[in-house]
């Protein structure tokens, strides 16, 4: 005669097995669906990456082709027709277009193009800052000297990547306005700023000397 406890254990295990199979038959589709979703999601992400890569390559090729056009007018026209796949890509396209417009002495058009980049909230912040700086730097833009000065002042806040270049532009506006002493003082401050580059210091020095000022503040 078999051991009663062993018999009970076998029956219990059989019942558990039957319950498990019943649960699998009833709810197994959920697991299959979950696996399908995981596999499908991974495939979709790979597809999207491939599409994004293809779009970026097509965009880059279009830019290269546009810049290889023979005349500035042709380059401007070609760049104007390039479709950008993202906000960042649009900023690159527009900045190249603005550079071509500036090189063709179309300063007003270049300033407008750069201003559009600066106002594009989809563009990376550094692109917007550079574009705004370039737009303000155009003397032939539709902005008044005071508007340009106000724009540059906003870019002189501590931590702004174009702070010292903006200070230099303000000094140039002050020179044009006959505010020689203010310009010299601003240029002297640039000379002693630890973040000033050698090129910026050299330009500041040349301007101070040409204005008859001293290279030492207060002298």
Give the Cα separation of 128 and 28 in Å (integer).
Answer: 53
pTM over the 0.75 mark: no
* Beta-carbon contacts of residue 98 (< 8 Å; ≥ 6 apart): 110, 111, 113, 114, 117, 131, 134
Q: Which residue has the tokens 């999601």?
A: 41
pLDDT at 86: 83
CB contact at 8 A, 165 and 133: yes
> Cα separation of 99 and 77, whole Å?
13
pLDDT at position 156, please? 94
Report the pLDDT value the prediction gives residue 106, as an integer from 0 to 100. Answer: 85
**pLDDT tens, the chain, 219 aa long:** 445 556 555 556 665 666 666 665 665 556 565 666 677 777 767 767 777 778 778 888 888 888 888 888 898 899 888 888 888 888 888 888 888 888 888 888 888 888 888 888 888 888 888 888 888 887 666 778 899 999 999 999 998 999 999 999 999 999 999 999 999 999 999 999 999 999 999 999 999 999 998 887 655
């Amino acid at each position: 005669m078999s051991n009663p406890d062993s018999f009970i254990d076998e029956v219990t295990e059989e019942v558990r097995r039957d319950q498990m199979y019943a649960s699998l038959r009833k709810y197994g589709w959920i697991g299959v669906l979950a696996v399908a979703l995981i596999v499908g999601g991974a495939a979709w992400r790979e597809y999207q990456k491939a599409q994004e890569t293809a779009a970026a390559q097509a965009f880059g090729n279009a830019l290269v082709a546009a810049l290889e056009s023979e005349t500035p007018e042709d380059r401007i026209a070609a760049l104007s027709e390039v479709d950008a796949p993202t906000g960042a890509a649009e900023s690159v396209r527009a900045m190249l277009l603005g550079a071509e417009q500036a090189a063709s002495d179309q300063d007003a058009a270049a300033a407008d193009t750069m201003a559009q980049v600066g106002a594009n909230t989809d563009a990376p912040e550094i692109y917007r800052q550079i574009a705004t700086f370039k737009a303000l730097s155009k003397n032939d833009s539709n902005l008044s000297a005071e508007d340009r000065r106000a724009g540059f002042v906003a870019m002189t806040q501590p931590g702004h990547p174009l702070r010292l270049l903006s200070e230099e532009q303000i000094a140039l506006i002050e020179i044009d306005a006959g505010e020689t002493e203010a310009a010299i003082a601003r240029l002297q401050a640039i000379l002693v700023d630890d973040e000033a580059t050698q090129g910026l210091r050299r330009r500041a020095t040349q301007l101070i000397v040409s204005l008859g000022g001293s290279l030492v503040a207060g002298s």
